[in-house]
């Protein structure tokens, strides 16, 4: 059950769940000298490492390489048309995941974190009952318990997942060949990433989204750049539509669209969000409060209704992002160490979407800022004038900055930064700091952007809000 021959039965901290929030708490706490146990029924790393962030981004990078080779003639490099060996693609994905898994497992071992391979359920007085994957059981206790059981993909009526025709994100990563025609139900971040990747690799893709706009929460100007790119790559997007089940055929299926044309496809990817795995924790009768949607209720410090029991990550109703899980883990461990603990400001976390074009944002969109009563001034700068973007051959997208409007019409405090375009997920850092430190456009404009670099577009957009600019 455990990596240790004779594991202890009492710990400083027990973490149920070995995903980013769980192993983040274990690593951060063990670095401070805490004796920590992690109970994980699958593999440490959780959804993010094995069935989410990492494999998805690896496949998106494959799509990027394929696009690059396909367009090499624009750089004067002539080669035969590239073909995709999908088996090799999936092997590389597995290699990346396995390498990171082994590294994480080794790090936990070096930090002397005890890992129980099994399912943990909460008991009274911060006890945890463990049913090992090998059938053995153990009862362990701790001064504190952190619930971090994670989440699984949500399903929708009429689309029972069979792993062949109807898939969730879990099954996409187990494909052995690319489907020719795909319907992606859900146009959020995960849906758009899968749609972008599958389309670039050669599938004919249609996104079906019930809301009026894909990528909810993203500024409309940024969304429009994504839609233009998708349209240019013949990736169809249908918004404001509802699906009413499907009828499987001999090889594929027909998706029924309410009030619209049915869609014949080889595969359906259901991407309508994730649900928390609180039902696996045995919380009935423990005093821990769970909402109707399955989320564990916590306060701003991630404390549950039971003293000494915390909950973090996808298990609570906060942004389902690995880096948010890390932040919540650190927040909890700091409390256990008696250190100052600052609650996470969920309205100012970094969001990154790795579609083509990439999307990254922090803070309020223009509409959200206006709805909140702010008088704003906005700067929008395209990539066409950025020398680095022209050099790499990628000028899709926009950098948009939303700031408080001063009496003279210039910008004051930066409220939000929404971007799409080349490598914007790697450029969000300074925008994140600016929004979270409540910086003004004058504060940020003082700093120098290297030339030539993609970050110059952000710098130029900020500079323009001061009332003067170089190139804008």
Residues designated as active site: 451
Half-sphere exposure (Cβ direction) of 296: Cα atoms closer than 13 Å: 34
Q: Are the beta carbons of 309 and 3 closer than 8 angstroms? A: no
Tokens of 137: 């059981």
Q: Which of 358, 351, 354, 275 is nearest to 316 (CA)?
A: 275
Q: Which of 164, 205, 209 is nearest to 183 (CA)?
A: 205
User: Using DSSP, how many helices (H) and how many strands (E) does the chain show?
Assistant: 13, 21
CB atoms closer than 10 angstroms to residue 202? 15
CB atoms closer than 10 angstroms to residue 224? 13
Q: Which of 441, 172, 445, 119 is nearest to 279 (CA)?
A: 119
For 22, 116, 170, 382, 401, the CA distances from 314, given in Å and listed in that order, are 10, 21, 16, 35, 29
Q: Which of 167, 174, 168 is nearest to 90 (CA)?
A: 174
Radius of gyration of the chain (CA): 24
Which class for 310: exposed (0-12), middle (13-18), buried (19 or more C-beta within 10 A)?
Answer: buried
DSSP 418-430: EEEETTGGGTHHH
Residues sharing a CB contact under 8 Å with residue 172, sequence separation 6 or more, in sequence order: 194, 269
Residues sharing a CB contact under 8 Å with residue 103, sequence separation 6 or more, in sequence order: none
HEC per residue, 117-175 = EEEEEEEHHHEEEEEECCCCEEEEEEEEEEECCCEEECCCCCCCCCCCCEECHHHHCCC
Tokens of 421: 């375009």
């Amino acid at each position: 059950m455990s990596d240790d021959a004779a594991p202890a039965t009492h710990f400083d901290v027990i973490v149920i769940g070995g995903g980013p929030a769980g192993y983040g708490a274990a690593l951060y706490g063990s670095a401070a000298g805490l004796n920590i146990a992690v109970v994980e029924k699958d593999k440490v790393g959780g959804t993010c490492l094995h069935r989410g962030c990492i494999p998805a981004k690896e496949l998106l990078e494959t799509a990027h390489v394929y696009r690059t080779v396909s367009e090499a003639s624009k750089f004067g490099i002539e080669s035969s048309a590239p073909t995709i060996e999908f088996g090799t693609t999936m092997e590389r994905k597995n290699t990346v995941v396995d390498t990171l898994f082994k590294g994480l497992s080794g790090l936990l071992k070096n930090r002397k974190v005890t890992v129980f391979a099994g399912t943990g359920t909460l008991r009274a007085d911060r006890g945890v009952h463990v049913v090992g994957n090998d059938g053995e059981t153990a009862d362990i206790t701790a001064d504190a318990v952190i619930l971090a059981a994670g989440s699984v993909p949500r399903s929708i009526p009429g689309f029972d997942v069979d792993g062949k025709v109807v898939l969730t994100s879990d099954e996409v990563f187990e494909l052995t060949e690319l489907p020719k025609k795909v319907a992606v139900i859900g146009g959020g971040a995960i849906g758009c990433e899968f749609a972008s990747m599958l389309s670039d690799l050669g599938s004919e893709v249609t996104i079906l989204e019930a809301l009026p706009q894909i990528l909810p929460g993203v500024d409309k100007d940024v969304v429009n750049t994504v839609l233009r790119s998708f349209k240019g790559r013949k990736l169809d997007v249908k918004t404001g539509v509802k699906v009413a089940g499907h009828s499987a055929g001999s090889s594929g299926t027909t998706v029924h669209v309410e009030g619209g044309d049915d869609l014949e496809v080889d595969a359906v990817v259901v991407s309508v969000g994730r649900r928390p795995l609180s039902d696996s924790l045995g919380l009935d009768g423990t005093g821990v409060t769970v909402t109707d949607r399955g989320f564990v209720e916590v306060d701003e410090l991630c404390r549950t209704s039971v003293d000494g029991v915390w909950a973090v990550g996808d298990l609570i109703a906060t942004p389902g992002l690995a880096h948010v899980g890390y932040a919540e883990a650190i927040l909890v461990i700091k409390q256990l160490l008696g250190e100052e603990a600052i609650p996470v400001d969920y309205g100012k976390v970094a969001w990154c979407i790795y579609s083509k074009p990439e999307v990254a944002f922090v803070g309020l969109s223009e509409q959200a800022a206006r709805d909140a009563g702010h008088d704003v001034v906005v700067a929008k700068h395209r990539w066409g004038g950025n020398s680095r973007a022209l050099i790499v051959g990628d000028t899709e997208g926009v950098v948009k900055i939303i700031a408080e409007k001063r009496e003279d019409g210039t910008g004051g405090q930066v409220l939000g930064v929404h971007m799409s375009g080349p490598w914007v997920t790697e450029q969000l850092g300074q925008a994140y700091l600016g929004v979270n430190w409540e910086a003004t456009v004058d504060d940020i404009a003082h700093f120098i952007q290297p030339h030539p670099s993609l970050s110059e577009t952000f710098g130029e957009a900020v500079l323009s809000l001061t009332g003067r600019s170089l190139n804008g």
